Structure formats: C-alpha cells, structure tokens
Structure 1
Amino acid sequence: MPKELRKRGKKKKPEPEWQPPVQQPVHEPQPVPQRTQETPSWIVSAPKPDDSDDVNPEAPFGYVEVDVKAYFRTVDIQIRDWQNTTADAGGDQDSDPNEERRMFFVAALTEMGGKEKQLATDPDCSLILERMTYSMDDFVRRVFVDSLIGSYDVLVKHRFASHVCQTLFTVANQTVSREKRGVLPTVPESSDKGELRTLTQLIVDVCEELLPVFSSLVMNPFASHVIRALLLLLSPNLVTSQETAQHTMRSKKSAAWKAKQGPLKSVFKDGHSGGDSGDNAPPEVFTQAARKFVEAIRSELGDNETRALAADKVASPTLQMLLAVEADQQMTEEPDSLMDRVLVGLISASRENPTSAAPVSDYLNTLLRDPTSSHLLETIVSKCPDLAFSILWATYFQGNLARIASHPVANFVLAKAVERLSVAQLTEACTELHNVWPKLIQTSRTGVLRAAIDRAAALKACGSEMTEAVLSAFRIESAEERTLLVPCMLRLQTLQEYNAAKSDEPKVQGAVLLQSLLRLPEPHNQVVSDSLNSLSPEEMLAIAHHAISSRVLDALLDSPTVPLKVKRQYVLSSIGRYHLLVDDRIGSRVGDRCWAFSDTYLKEKIARSLIPQEQFLAGSFYGKFFARNLNLYLLQRRPDEWRTMQTERSRPAESAPANRPPPAADATPSKGDMKRKREGDEIDELFGAALGKKVRKAALVEPAQPEAKAKPLPSSEALDAGLADVLGAIRAAPEGKGHGKRKGR
C-alpha cells in the first residue's frame, strides 16, 4: 500500500450482530414462616428497639465534633503547663496569676456546656475532663454533676466515662466537707434553669439512680472502680480504720497509663479547691445511702452468689469494701448479713451457741490460700465480732500455724489475725511457731513475726516471748552473739549467713522488725540498744547514711518506751563525727533529729565539737543546712544569748500563746513587714556584735526599744553563706585600722 494511503490508529473491529436478550428467571422472596403451634414455646424473638441503629456503645451520647476536640486539646496543653509549674515559679509579683487562669477556665467551661456527656465518653477528652475537675470550684462541680444526672447508669459502665465519674467522686469530698460546715458559694439566680442542688444532695440522687442496677455494677470491670470510689465518699472513715485506699484506685494497667499523663492537681495557687477541715464524719444521708447499697446486695444476691463474688477479681475488692461498710455500721450481727454468708453461717452459729465448735468449711480454706480472695479474708478477720473471731481462730488457725505461716499467701491473713489475739492466744501462738521462725526469716516472710511483736507492744505483755522468738529466728544464742543482732536483722540473715557474707544491703523487712522491737517495753527493747552501742563508729555511720537502716535510728529517738539514758548515749556517741554524719543526704536528716531531741546542754556540746569543722560544713552541700541551726558565730561571741535562744526554741509551741496576750486586730503586721523586720533585726544584731562596743551600746540605750537587752536574738536561718563570709572578714580585720578619713566624696 502506498504511504499516502496509510492511516494512523487501530483497526476497527467489525460490530457483532444483534442478538435478542436472554430473559433471567425471577425469584420471588420466600415468605417468612409464621410461628405455628408446632414451634416450641421457649423460642421467642428478641425485641428490636426502635433506636438501636442510632446507639453506639462506644459513643452512646454521640461523637465530639472535630473543632471542639481540637479546642480541648489546646486546653489540655495549657492546663498541663500550669500543673507542672510550681507555686513560686514565674509571673509578675504585682499581678494575680489566678485571674488569667480563671478567665481561661470560664471560656473552657462555657465551651463544655451541653457537651459533658459526649466529652466524658470520648477517648481523648475524658482525661481532659479529669484534669479540669481538680481545678473546678464548688459551684462548677455542682453544675457538672447535675449535668450528668440521669445518665450515670450508662457512664459508670463506659470505658472512658467511668474514670471521669471516679475522679469526680474522689474530689467531691472536699466540696461536701465545706457544705457540711455551711460554706456555700454564691449561686447566680436564674429563673429559666431552676434551683441548683447542693453536691451532697446530688450525690444522694446519684446513689438512688444506681441503686436498681447496683448488683450488676459490682461485677462490671469498668463500673467496679467507680463503685469503690463512691463507697469511699459515702464512708470516708474506712481509710482510717482499714487500708482500703488502694482498692479505690484504677487497675494496674490503667494506673500505669495515668501516671504518664503528668500530675493532676489544681492550677490555682490560692488552693481554693483545697482540702477539708479534717472532719472525717460523713453526712447522715451518706450513711443511709451506704446502708442501702449493702441491703441491695443482700436482697438481690443469694448466699452462693455472694460467696462467688469473693473469688472474682473484679467483684472481690468491692465486696471487701461492702463488708467494711457493714461492720462500720454494726450490721454484721444482723440475720443473713454479708459477712455471715461469706463465713458460711459462722456468725449466726456463734450467736446461737457460743461454746460449740464450728465445722470446718472447705470454702474458707480455699479463701485462705487464694491470691484474690485472701484479701477479703483479711478484712473478715479484722472486722468480724469478737466471739466469731475466737471460733474462727480456734477452727482454722490454731494447730495449723506452721503451715499457714510458711504459705506464700496465707501468711498475710495470719498476720492480720495475730493483730487481734489476746495475751493467752499470743503466748500459745509463739510456742507453736518456735521452730518455724528461722524458716520464715530464710524465706523473707516476716509479716507474722512483725505482727506478733506489734501485738505484744500494744498489749504491753509477752515481751520476753518476743525477744526469744527474734533470737531464735536469727539463731543467736550467746551474749557475745547478741551484739550482732542489728546487722543480722538489717540484712535479714541468720548469724551463720552473716558471718559468711557481710556485703549484703539492708532490707526493708529487717528494718521494720527492728523498729517494732524498739516499741516493746523497756526491759525487752534493750537487746537492740545494746547491739547498736556495740557497733563501731564506721558501722554506725553506714547505718545512718542508708535510706533503709536510718529508720532504725529514727525509731530509737522517737520511741516512747526507749529510756532517755539510751537516747542521750547515742547522741553523745556521735560527738566528733557530726560533720561526717550530716555530710550526706540521709545522714543530714538523722543529724537534724539528733539536734531536735537534744536539750540545751547537749546542743552546746554538739556545737562546740563542730567549731573546728566550720569551714568543712560551709563547703558541704548538705552540711551547710545543718550548720545554720548551730549559730557558731553567736556561740563564740555571746554564749549566754546562744543558750537563751536555744532554750526559747526548745519550749513547746503550745505554751507560747498562753503566756502572751493576743495582739490587737488593727496592729497585725503583714507577712512582708514581719519578714523585713526579722531580717533587719538579725543583720543589726550580727553587725553590732562584730563592729564593736559602740553599736551594741547604741542599740541598748535606744529609747524606742527598752526591752531590746532582754530580747533573745532571732533565728538566723534566713542568713546565707555570703553573710558568714562578711562576718569572717570583719573578725579577721585588725582593731584600730580601717577607720581613717575618707578621701574625696
């Protein structure tokens, strides 16, 4: 084909011939078979709610808008920055840093209005709400709690909103305490929003809302933590009577995650959302609400269901708090109580026939050795009635103490039970465990021995039995070997193990045992003081410089049962080495305790022994703080005034207001004036002592201060090292020189 006839492009395919379309068969929908008489009656279709398609379990109240979430992220960044800064950092002294923060919070709270439920269920914003809750005042907290009323049964079971509710109940005790004292914030009047209830009434309304579903919330993995926080709010005295604070915390995984989020505290420096007055008694309506929760579990769960909660990892801590509430309100001896159910009827049997022995239950033996339910049994042995405890001790503990004390789990329950023993029961227990003490020391299970020593100290009896138990536990027999009791106990080693290896670090269990021994009556704690006095100065210095072993020296000085002669002997034994003692982070604290214990005579001996080491203390990072209490320059110049000052400081603080008339209301100086006056007096006194007789005489004859001569020298803790250098230079200057005529202006 010639080139001019060729065309670019693809060849066109011939079009196919037209074919009639094939008709597809039509399948009609099969009719749904209706329920007939032959269908079993137990097959029932689940009802489908009308709004089931609109409810998302992850966001039951809807999702947060993107721009709102972005705004609250900026709020979180700002609050984090404020919470990480200290109260004294930054800012102009003339401006109020709280004013800017309050305005910022007003804007954030305005944006939060109407979106509280959506923000609480959001994965990112829920933590921001928790952070903001700590900085809310009483009025805002009431508004926040009121905005969630009617939805708490959903919020406490939500993965993220449950933590918001838990934090809200945790900080609510501050507002409730102020409301109990009648401290109420001013509420703006608004006719369209109605009356705002107090937080106390709002908490009661929340309890009424959760009461119908309370038994199911106890076993919910998210709601159980909220229930514990709520029970602690209703019965705050549970913390003082029992270590239940740890059970109100989050799970270990959640607590570790929350610890990475930084501190959670109020951002306002004036602490307007701070603590309460110290009154731990809850309002009467709270006591009634806690009682209703206990009665709800009683009525909705049977005996076996209640006992099944003890082994559940989620429900067992909540049941433990319910048992504590029941014991706190004297409900344990009522028929069909929760504690009677867990003890398989032991309380009712002891009430009907106190002298009969209860049958052994395999269920309680299981609780004794289970890692989860043993915590519940600890609460039971601490809170059950006295008659029931006697039967419980005789049935499940007595005769089996050797095996229980050696068990890795059951020994904790035994330690709690030992804290309630009588003198006769404690004596029998020590006799039964005589051959087991060394094994307990080798396995580092010292809880039973510590509990026995503490119980003997509380009863002021069985002191000789405790001393023998300790010596037997560490295999110490002769009087010469008793001098090594403290080193052996600190390292938790028997005498043979200590002689074989002396390089082990002190252990917490050994230090706690020594502190318990020092609280025994006077003849029985002498074994510890004698061992301490027999140690070399280097060993005593090593004990004082260690964070664990130094607690033993604190207990020696603080224990009321240790004789005063023994304490003075320890303080005097350290003279000549105090500069080495306080030249350490831990040792400086021990030196402060020795100084606080000493009278004026001992303080003067300590201070005079440190005069040659004045430069050493000034150059020590920790020793310079101890040197400020010594006032060595005043001791060398005016020892009488130094003794007067130390005597004034040693007087009890409560006796000072009784000897002094109250100041007038209009004559109260400000803090700044008092600080300037105190610093001015110190400088005048010090330079007056250094510059010679003229300045002192002028100060004495000043008519405006007739009592200046009898007035003791104020504290010199505010003086820095620079002032000490100036005084040293003045002392070093020769007399009669440096006072010539000035040349020029």
Structure 2
Amino acid sequence: MPREGKKRGRRQQEKAGKRSAKRLKIGHSRDEEIPSEFVVEGDAGDDFIGFDVQRPPGMQEPTEDTQFHGLLTPEEQEYYANVNAKIVANDFDSPEDRAIFIEAVHSETEGKEMKVASSQSCSRYLEKIIMLSTPEQMRHLFSKFLGNLTYLVRHRFGSHCCETLFLQAARHVEREPRAEDTAGTGLPSMEPLFLHAAEELEPNMGFLLTDRFASHTIRVLLLILSGLPLDDDSIQAMVASRKKEKLKAPMEKGTETSESKRIVPKTFRNALDKLISSAISALDTTYLRALATHPTGNPVLQLLLRVELSASGRNQAAEEDSVLRKLLPDQELEEDSQSAKFIIGLIYDPTGSHLVEILVEQLPGKVFKKLYKNVLTPRLGSMSKNDTASYVAMRILERLGKDDLAEAKKLILAELPVLISRRRTGLIRVLIERCALRGVDPQDISDVIKSEYKSDGGEFLPNLLGFRSTEVQEQTQDNDATKDTETSTPKTDVHASLLAQTMLQTPKTCTLVQDSMLALDTKMLMAMARDPVSSRVVQCALSPTESNMHFRREFIPRFYGHIGTLSQDLSGSYVADALWTATDRLHFMKERLAGELVSNESQLRESPFGRNVWKNWAMDLYHRRPGEWRALAKGPGQSHAPAVPLKEASGPGRKKTPIELARERHSRKSNSHSMKGSRASATSANAVVRTNALT
C-alpha cells in the first residue's frame, strides 16, 4: 500500500500558517478584539495605511462576504437587459410614455433593489434608470439603500449605484423641504435621507477613506454636503476615477441644468463636520501625511482641504483639529521646518504634487506668501524643468501678483531653452498668459522663443508645432524605408498649438507667429489648415480683433481658390467657417470667397462638411436674395432697422448722425416695398424677418 504523504501534509500546514500570519497578529484569535489595530486581509502591500478608529463593541468590519442578498434569475437579467435596450433606443412615443415605462420598471424592482445593485451587468442598467427617475422614485430607492450603505459603498458594483443616486438626488435638495413633496408618499425628503446616509457611514469613515471602491462614493457625499459645485472640472477630477465608465441616459431637452451655485441646508454643514471629524480624529500628522502619497487617499485629502479652505469653511481651517493644521502644524513654514520638508517632498511626487496644487490655489493669502517666499521661490527654476513639478509651477504663476510674477519670470527665463528643447511648452504658455494679464512685458520671452526655434521666414511655426505636411512625410518614408512609420511621421504637438494660440492673442508676441504665417508656402498653409491640431492656430489667427486688421488684409487672400477644397475637409471646414468672421469690415473679400463657394456648389452639397459651410455662409440666401445677403454680410448694424423709433432714439433737440439718417432712409424704403404687397417668396424658410421701426 502507498504511504501516507505526511511530509506533504506538514508542509501544507506550514504554508497555511504563513498565509494566516499575514491576516492575524500572532497570539490572538480572530474572535478576540484587537485594540487600536486593524485586521488586514489579503495581500495589503507596503502602501497599506491602518487607521486607529474605535468601533462600537461587537461591531465587526463589514466585508462583502458578511452580507449576501441573492442573485438575479436568468429571466430577471433578461428583463433588465430589455429595459436597457429600450432606454438606449429611446423609442418612446412621448415623455409621458417614458415616465410610465420607468414607473413600471421601479414597480418590478420592488424588493430586488439590493440584488440589482450588486449585479455586474444590471447595476449599469440601474444607474441609467436612476438618471431617468423622478424625485419621488429616487427617494423610494434611497430609503431602500439605507441600512445597507456600508455594504453597498464597498461593493464593486453597488458603489457606482450609490454614487449615481447621490449625484442625481443632490440636484433636488432644497434649503427647506416642501410639504407637498412628501404628501401621500410616506417618504422623507432628500435632506433627511442624506443626513441618515451620513450618520450611517460616520462610524466607519476611518477605513472607508482608503477603500478601493468606497472612497469614490465618500468623496461624492462630502462634495454634496459641502455645497461645492457638482459640475466643476477641477472638482470632478478629485471625485471620479479616470477608469470610471461614463454612462449616459437620453434626457429631455432642457432637463440638464447647471448646478454651479447650489444651496444646501444648514444641517448639511453639521453632518459634514461630523464626517470629517470621524475620519481624521484618530489620525495624527504622520498618518495624515501618509495619505498624501496614497493613490486612493490622496484625492480624499484633496477634497477635504478644498472643503475646509472654501469660503464656507475658512473658520474651521483655523482650528487646531482641522485637516490643514494637522497636515501643516508649522504655520510659519520656515525652510528647515518639518512642514516645509514635507511639501518639498510632495512637489516632485506624481501623486502628492496634486495636493500641493490644491494648497497653492486655496491657501489664505498670508499662508501662501510664507509658503512662496520660504519654500517655492528658491526652487521655482528647477520645478519648471521637472515633468511633475512643472504643473505646480503653473499653479504658482496663476496666483502671483505683478511684482512677484516679474521676479518669477526672471527665474524661469534662464530655463526656457531647456524647456523648449524638451518641448514642455505648457509652462511657457501659462507664463505668457499671466504676463499679459498682470501687465508684465513678455518681449524677452518672445525673443528667447524666436532664437530657440531658429525663426527664418516661414519655418518658425512648423518648427514650433512639429508639423510636417503629407508630401514631406511621404518623401521621408521613401528615402528611409527601414524606419518605423510612427517614428517617421510625428504628430503635431497639441501643447505647442496652445502656445501659438496664446501668442496670437497677446499683442506683444503675436507678430512673431503672424509673420511666420504670412511667409508660409501656400501648400504648407493649406496642409496646416487641414490638420486637426494646427488648424486651431489658423482659426485663432483669423479671429478678428482691432489690432490684427492689417494682418487679416494680407492673410485672407492666401485662401483665394482654396476655400472650396477646405470646406470639404473635416478640419478645413472650421477654417472656412472662420473666414466668415475674419472678413468683417472686409466685405469685398467676403464676396470673393462666397463666389468661390458658388462655383463649387455641386461638390459642397455632396460633402457633409461642405453642406455645413454652405449653411453657415447663408449661401441659399446669396442665391435667392443677394441684397439681403449683402446686408447680412456687412453686419447687423447695417442689415436691420433699429428696434425703437428714430425720433425717440435721437432725442428732440439732437441732430441726427449720417448713419442714423441712412438707417431712416433704409427703413422708409423697406416700408414702401411692404406697402406694395408681399410675395410668396417672403415666407420661405430662409426669409429674413425685418422689423419696421417707423409707425
């Protein structure tokens, strides 16, 4: 008989003991309470942060295994899949039909809310259903989630349903709930629902901050309770994950409203203070600083600082137990202090640098001046060259005044050649923008840019953008067939395009780009107008201003004979549209370009982009009523009569100006034509409605 595998069994037991040692401290059993310490399950890694949060006696840390609400049957999964197909198709006869359909779905979901929210596929469908639900339906679903929020926010799929529900319900929160909102439903209004949610999550805030899934929902709840805008891009970057699936449901026109200014009840501020206090009360400065470099904890810490340093939380930020005071106990921020060393370490960290950006943007003026003088100024030059710290330098430039900005420009000016050689033009763009805004002369910046890009005629702009036309790319591929296609055809630099647009909008740097555009070869110019990135520069150059009239007179004729071809291209059609506004006060050029569009009418009507250009140039009006098209092309002041009688506008004792007399003659002429009788053509779709000013 074969022997028993005793050695194999012993070794297996040893391996099992080693695995259990990772999860449980030696000398304790799982059922015993471990004071001031958490039980870490699984492979936590070196970046795990434990939190000394006291839980009530008998309360265990909730896990996904402690609660199970069942699985959906195949028939139920098929039902919700059909619901999703109906919502995506949006083939409802009327909004009332869709409302009835959503109500029927909520009735079918009664009693199965937790199973649907925990389903991998159906949780996505539930999010779309929430987006189309009425406030009463959302209150009903919210009340079903209460009591299970700690489980749901930590669930991989349920956390997304809670996040969507919170965001949609927050749009219906008012300062005081109205009685008619809950009359006859037996459901509380949104305010007590959010307060109950905050109260339920408050005891577990310590470990929810760094939970992989719960942290996103916690950020949303903190954002809603704070009253900060929900649609701000800078705040959304702290709330939503980059990998989050962007689900959209078909909405009615006019239902998507901006929530930039939100009014929240005063009770929300008290609930927010309790949540923040529960999250950081057991954390000292060391643990709180560890959050700054934690991939999940850093966005939460950013939001906490943003809430404290906002207008409504300035008083709280000055308290001893605030997040800011715990994070930076040395308010003087001397160079050798621990707080200064902490910030210096974060500046060059890919994760922690985001927190420094928040501090630079939101710190009070007195604290920021100390931070800038003692910590940031000596390192501004080296920060501008670093890939990570350069973003912090951009935020610093946006905060500086005129005198400090002039000093910072001198520090960065010596590093411009290095930035240009590394094609890090984002910092240069921000520097030019701020100099133009604060009244600092950017001429020395323009001189360095000109010398580094070796501006000779029309070579400056292509060198700046890294642009090469298709013909040049094909020749390069033929001459060196061994090279890879991606390396031989580099893409146009988007950040360089933004820099060129900024230089065009700044009076003291625009001539460098304008002279290069005038010196460009026609083929190169048309190739740039058809490129998705460089065409933005051409559109910006065509934007009319008071100072570029002379440039437009020389630049617009370069497009003669090419507007028909540009109109049939995706990117070139935007340049063709820009030529309409570029020819303001240059009517003879506009008529010349319109004539070329007419000669290419058949090709333009066959192209979807050409049809858009034809419509934007009002070419149908040009065909049928050339006089009205000319009045429209010359501008609204010459194509329409004034909205008030001329006698009232001019006053009884004032002499009329020549333009007012001309408008009066034009109005009388229009009146005389209208008195003779109107024709059928005046009721066409493109007819211009004229208002008779004289009665």
Task: Pick which of 406-415 and 311-320 moved more.
Answer: 406-415
Distance of aligned partners of 1:209 and 1:637 in 2 relative to their CA distance in 1, 3 Å threshold: closer
Give the corresponding residue for 2:350: 371
* CA shift in 2, pair 1:50/1:467, >3 Å: closer
Structure 2 residue aligned with 1:643: 630
1:60 aligns to what? Answer: 67
> For residue 615 of structure 2, what is the aligned residue in structure 1?
628
Q: 1:71 aligns with which of 69, 76, 88?
A: 76
Look up the equivalent residue of 1:204 and give its one-letter code. L
Aligned to 2:275: 293
Between the aligned partners of 1:622 and 1:129, the Cα distance in structure 2 is: 38
Name the residue aligned to 2:456: 481
For residues 159-181 of structure 1, the C-alpha deviation after alignment (integer angstroms, 9 at most, x for no partner) is 322121112122223333xx569
Q: Whole-Å Cα distance in 2 between the matches of residues 209 and 50 of structure 1?
A: 16
CA contact (8 A) 2:383 2:389 kept: yes
Aligned partner of 1:518 in structure 2 is 504
Partners of 1:180 and 1:76 in 2: how far apart? 38
The structural deviation recorded for 1:319 is 0.6
Of 153, 158, 168 in structure 1, the residue corresponding to residue 155 of structure 2 is 158
TM superposition shift of 1:226? 0.4
Match of 1:349 among 324, 329, 332: 332
Query: Do the aligned partners of 2:467 and 2:491 also contact (CA within 8 Å) in 1?
Result: no
Query: Counterpart of 1:527 in structure 2: which amino acid?
Result: L
Contact 1:641 1:712 in 2 (8 A): no
TM-score, normalising length: structure 2: 0.74
One-letter amino acid of the structure 2 residue matched with residue 437 of structure 1 = L
Superposition CA RMSD, Å: 4.1
What secondary structure sits across from 1:114 in the alignment? coil
Offset at 1:421? Answer: 2.1
How far 1:434 moved relative to its partner?
Answer: 3.0
1:663-720 deviations in Å (ceiling 9; x for gaps): xxxxxxxxxxxxxxxxxxxxxxxxxxxxxxxxxxxxx9998x9466997975279xxx
3-state SS of 1:107 partner: helix
Residue 612 (structure 1) aligns with: 599
Measured after TM superposition, the shift of residue 576 of structure 1 is 3.1
Alignment of 1:99-498 (within 5 A): 99-176=96-173, 179=174, 189=184, 195-235=186-226, 237=228, 243-250=234-241, 252=243, 255=244, 258=245, 263-266=247-250, 270=252, 274-276=255-257, 278=259, 280-285=261-266, 286-328=268-310, 329-330=313-314, 331-345=316-330, 348-349=331-332, 359=337, 361-472=340-451, 474-476=452-454, 481=456, 483-491=458-466
- What is the deviation of 1:321? 0.8
Tell which structure's C-alpha radius of gyration is larger: 1
CA contact (8 A) 1:156 1:223 kept: yes
Mapped to 1, the partners of 2:683 and 2:138 lie a distance apart of 50
For the 8 Å contact 1:152–1:206, the answer to whether it is kept is: yes
* CA gap 1:431/1:554 in 2 versus in 1, 3 angstroms: same
Gaps of 5+ in 1: 1-41, 351-355, 661-699, 718-745
Q: Distance in 1 between matches of 2:248 and 2:562?
A: 43
| Amino acid paired to 2:265 | E
Decide whether aligned partners of structure 1 residues 284 and 489 sit closer, same or farther in structure 2, where only a CA change above 3 A counts.
farther
Give the CA deviation at 1:513.
Answer: 1.0
> Deviation string for 1:495-537 (max 9, x for gaps)?
xxx9x999643111110111222232x2332222222222122
Q: Give deviations 1:217-270, integer Å, cap 9, x for gaps.
A: 112222101011222333464567761212322363xx3xx46xxx4314xx64
| Contact 1:418 1:448 survives alignment (8 Å) | no
Unaligned 5+ runs, structure 2: 1-26, 34-55, 477-487, 647-671, 689-695
Shift of the 483–65 alpha-carbon distance from structure 1 to 2, 3 Å rule, reads closer
Cα deviation code 1:281-327 (max 9, x no counterpart): 23133444434433444533222221121111111111111111111
Flag the 1:634–1:251 CA change in 2: closer, same or farther, 3 A. Answer: closer
How many Å apart are 1:57 and its aligned residue? 3.0
The alignment status of 1:588 with 2:573, answered yes or no, reads yes
Contact kept, 8 Å, 2:497 with 2:537, in 1: the verdict is yes
Distance 1:709 1:315, change over 3 A: same
Distance in 2 (CA, whole Å) between partners of 1:368 and 1:136 is: 44
Deviations 1:564-612, CA, capped at 9 Å, x for gaps = 4434543344233211221211111221122144337243232134443
The 8 Å contact of residues 507 and 548 in structure 1, kept in 2 or not, is answered as yes
SS in 1 for 2:399: coil
Please give the alpha-carbon distance, in whole angstroms, between the structure 2 residues aligned to 1:70 and 1:122. 14
Q: How many aligned positions are there?
A: 592
Q: Percent identity?
A: 25
Structure 2 vs 1, CA of residues 636 and 370 (structure 1 numbering), >3 Å: closer, same or farther? closer
Is contact 2:162–2:217 with CA below 8 Å preserved after alignment? yes
8 Å contact kept, 2:72–2:119: no
* 1:633 CA drift (Å): 6.7
Give the Cα–Cα distance (whole angstroms) in 1 for the partners of residues 389 and 166 of structure 2: 34
CA deviations 1:446-479 (Å, max 9, x no partner) are: 332222122213213232233234335x343xxx
Quote the offset at 1:482 in angstroms: 6.2
Q: Which deviations, in whole Å up to 9, do the C-alpha atoms of 1:334-368 show, x marking residues without a partner?
A: 444322333342xx327xxxxx7664743222211
Is the contact made by 2:453 and 2:463 (CA closer than 8 Å) also made in structure 1? no
- CA distance in 2 between counterparts of 1:71 and 1:293 reads 38
Match of 1:533 among 499, 502, 518: 518
Structure-1 residue corresponding to 2:538: 553
| Corresponding position of 1:715 | 686
Give distance in 2, aligned partners of 1:282 and 1:711.
49
**Native 8 Å contact 1:557 1:567 kept in 2:** yes
Tell me the distance in 1 between the aligned counterparts of 2:674 and 2:30.
Answer: 102
Deviation at 1:488, TM superposition (A): 1.5
Return the alpha-carbon distance in structure 1 between the equivalents of residues 392 and 491 of structure 2: 29
